Amino acid sequence: MTHTTPHPTTPARLSPDPLPRFAPDLLAGSPDGLLATSTALASAVGAALAAPRSGGPLPVGAPADVLRSAADALGPAVLPLVGVGEDAALHRLARVLVGHGVDLAHPLAAAHLQPPPLAVAVAADALASAGNSSLDTYDSGPATLAVERWVVGALAGLAGLGDRADGVLTPGGSLSNLLALLLARDAAATRLGMDVRRDGVAALPGPVVLCSELAHFSVHRACAALGLGECAVRPVPVDHRRRMRVDVVAARLRRLGAGHTPLAIVATAGSTDFGVVDPLPQLAEVAAEHGVWLHVDAAYGFGALFSERLAPRLAGLELADSVTVDLHKLGWQPAAASALLTADASAFAALDREVAYLNPADDSLAGYDGLLGRSLQTTRRPDAVKIAATLLAHGRHGLGRMVDACHALAGHAQRRIAAEPELELVGPAELTTVVFRYRAPDPAWDDDVNAGLRRRLAEEGHALVGRTAVRLAGPGSPRRVCLKFTLLNPTATREDVDALVDAVLDAARACVAGRAGRPRRDRAMPEPVSDATDAALTTPDPTSALTTEEGAA
Ligand SMILES: *Cc1c(COP(=O)(O)O)cnc(C)c1O
């Protein structure tokens, strides 16, 4: 039987309705559109520069008030039937962002590992957005595939990972850690002759992941997400310099019975609060001896490799099986700019997948495949473009100077804090952070005053400092509220750091004055929870660290 389909050009069969017409510059990627994008950006920047600012890193006011006025400035949360036009929309958003947002380039912004991004990276990111390439297949964007391979090669080279190294960009350090533990899990299972990808993890006997008690909480979350359970994570105590104790790692691995599968040692290179680097060469030796995957979480610390002065602190990184890198921390990229590097490309075999509409075998053989097999994502932003622009523009020297500047600012903060009788230095400037606390006249007020002064500064919009919790009196002691400067602004000065310390002192004294005369509260403070690490923090006291049960092992 034959079908008689109407010929497509038969005029009578075509809808007579004309197609809607659009301006030639509607789409960012066209030549007209690129120009329109640049004009619109210039206009939005004009609005941002003209918008009223608080003068500090945060808007003035309590969080609920700031959020309400930001919502008011946006207008009712309904999709308008008729749009206001591009310029009006961009101007409104620019005013909201500037008037109610955070100013990370302000020299008194020093709370989190959230840097002020570099101009060249933002420009490159905008260009990459206009192209909207992906990375899963060849035809989703050949250029960005090449750019990501270039970035991975450059970063792996800087890490010293060798010729077989590989890697992939991810949406953040948390997900780089997840991916690393997935590769480690599947590698361990394969050694046991198991296919956990197909069969699930139920049959994997007693998975164990060893990490410092100061490791980032994303290690715990990754184990939960991977079906290993958070109980797979065995936090290892730290020494007097807050480094994971290698003797304890070795003793635990020796003692693991047949019912257990050691999946990975997770070393931290640059702990979130203190910037401490675990002893990488010794951990690599133990990992090799036991045939265990060594993952180094260098989310924060990797950037230290740009600095000739600080790079030696990461010696041993080249011995890792995998490395987490966050360039949206010590790398001045707009988020996200993270990578998981591996010592061996074959590690990614666990992610191989053939998908009919993306990478059929004959297309792959002909070279049409992309990086689908490196990632848990399918569509993926070309984050490599801004990183490549930054590495090319500034080079190792340029970035190293920025790292050195921030390290020097942290050193200045450390000296200033140590010289202030009202302040107590808790963690010295290893990389670009300093941890400290205010000593209230009544030690029972310490936690309240330190927590309160930070909120006071934030509400005044005057200065943005970080907060964490540290066990000051050894393992098992309660965690006490501490303050933290995270210095990531290479254009800030020593005077700015002095102004930060002065702001802390002023706010502390105001908090103390507010308390004095009030009846003393006898109920205990709730145990504070660190916003950076979920793990216990210990004091720099070698004896207490060595008296733990494993100290003798
Ligand atoms: C910040 C951080 C992470 C998490 O990275 P995100 O990019 O915020 O997901 C992991 N590990 C360490 C040591 C970190 O400092």
End-to-end CA distance of the chain: 84
Q: Does 184 reside within a domain? A: yes
Q: Which residues pair with 311 in a beta bridge?
A: none
Strand, coil or helix: 121: helix
CA of 186 relative to ligand 1 center, distance in Å: 23
Q: Do 388 and 419 lie in a common domain?
A: no
Number of H helices, E strands in the chain: 15, 12
Tell me which residue has its CA closest to atom 15 in ligand 1: 272
Return d(Cα 201, Cα 553) in angstroms, integer: 31
**Within 6 Å (CB) of ligand 1, which residues are found?**
113, 172-174, 177, 216, 218, 268, 272, 297, 299-300, 326, 338
CB 184 within 8 A of CB 211: no
Q: What is the pLDDT of residue 536?
A: 39
CA of 109 relative to ligand 1 center, distance in Å: 19
Q: Do 498 and 543 lie in a common domain?
A: yes
Q: Does 58 reside within a domain? A: no
Q: Does 389 reside within a domain? A: yes
Strand, coil or helix: 181: helix
CA angle 510, 512, 513 (to 5 degrees): 65
Burial label for 149, CB within 10 Å (0-12, 13-18, 19+), is middle
DSSP annotation of 282: H
User: Among 332, 366, 394, where does a domain finish?
Assistant: 394
Q: What is the pLDDT of residue 535?
A: 39
Return d(Cα 439, Cα 418) in angstroms, integer: 12
Q: Do 390 and 420 lie in a common domain?
A: no
Locate the ligand 1 atom nearest the alpha carbon of residue 174 and give its number: 9
Residue 225 belongs to a domain with what CATH number? 3.40.640.10
Q: Does 237 reside within a domain? A: yes
Domain of 386, in residue numbers: 126-394
Q: Where are the alpha helices (DSSP H) in 216-292?
A: 218-225, 246-255, 280-290
Q: What is the pLDDT of residue 2?
A: 47
Q: Do 446 and 525 lie in a common domain?
A: yes
Q: Where are the alpha helices (DSSP H) in 226-340?
A: 246-255, 280-290
Residue to substitute in 216, 340, 431, 531 for testing ligand 1 pocket (most ligand atoms within 8 angstroms of CB): 216
Q: Do 476 and 365 lie in a common domain?
A: no
Q: Do 384 and 403 lie in a common domain?
A: no
pTM equals 0.91
Residue to substitute in 297, 314, 323, 433 for testing ligand 1 pocket (most ligand atoms within 8 angstroms of CB): 297
CA of 315 relative to ligand 1 center, distance in Å: 20
Return d(Cα 250, Cα 24) in angstroms, integer: 65
Two structure tokens written together for 1: 């039987």
Q: Do 383 and 409 lie in a common domain?
A: no
CA of 12 relative to ligand 1 center, distance in Å: 62
CB 226 within 8 A of CB 282: no
Place of tokens 């340029």: 398
CA of 300 relative to ligand 1 center, distance in Å: 7
Across the chain, which has 553 residues, the per-10-residue mean pLDDT values are 51 76 93 95 96 91 96 95 96 96 96 97 97 93 96 98 97 98 95 91 94 97 96 96 98 94 98 98 98 98 98 98 98 98 92 84 87 90 98 98 98 98 97 98 95 96 96 89 98 98 97 78 47 39 36 34
Q: Do 309 and 416 lie in a common domain?
A: no
Place of tokens 């210095």: 487
User: Among 394, 412, 429, where does a domain finish?
Assistant: 394
Ramachandran sector of residue 270 (left: φ over 0; alpha: ψ -120 to 50; beta: rest): left
How many C-beta neighbours within 10 Å does residue 518 have?
Answer: 8
How far lies 102's CA from each of 56, 60, 112, 252, 497, in Å? 9, 11, 12, 45, 19
DSSP annotation of 369: B
Q: Does 36 reside within a domain? A: no
Residue 500 belongs to a domain with what CATH number? 3.90.1150.10
Number of domains in the chain: 2
Backbone phi, psi, residue 319, to 5°: -95, 0
Q: Does 326 reside within a domain? A: yes
CB 390 within 8 A of CB 333: yes
Burial label for 375, CB within 10 Å (0-12, 13-18, 19+), is buried
Q: Do 402 and 374 lie in a common domain?
A: no
Locate the ligand 1 atom nearest the alpha carbon of residue 328 and give its number: 7
Residue to substitute in 277, 300, 327, 531 for testing ligand 1 pocket (most ligand atoms within 8 angstroms of CB): 300
Q: Do 486 and 511 lie in a common domain?
A: yes
Strand, coil or helix: 57: coil
Two structure tokens written together for 357: 């509409």
Return d(Cα 188, Cα 180) in angstroms, integer: 12
Q: Do 424 and 444 lie in a common domain?
A: yes
By DSSP bridging, strand 423-427 and strand 338-342 are unpaired
Return d(Cα 351, Cα 416) in angstroms, integer: 50
Q: Does 258 reside within a domain? A: yes
Strand, coil or helix: 446: helix
How many C-beta neighbours within 10 Å does residue 50 have?
Answer: 11
Q: Does 353 reside within a domain? A: yes
User: Among 394, 429, 455, where does a domain finish?
Assistant: 394
DSSP annotation of 541: -
Q: Do 372 and 230 lie in a common domain?
A: yes
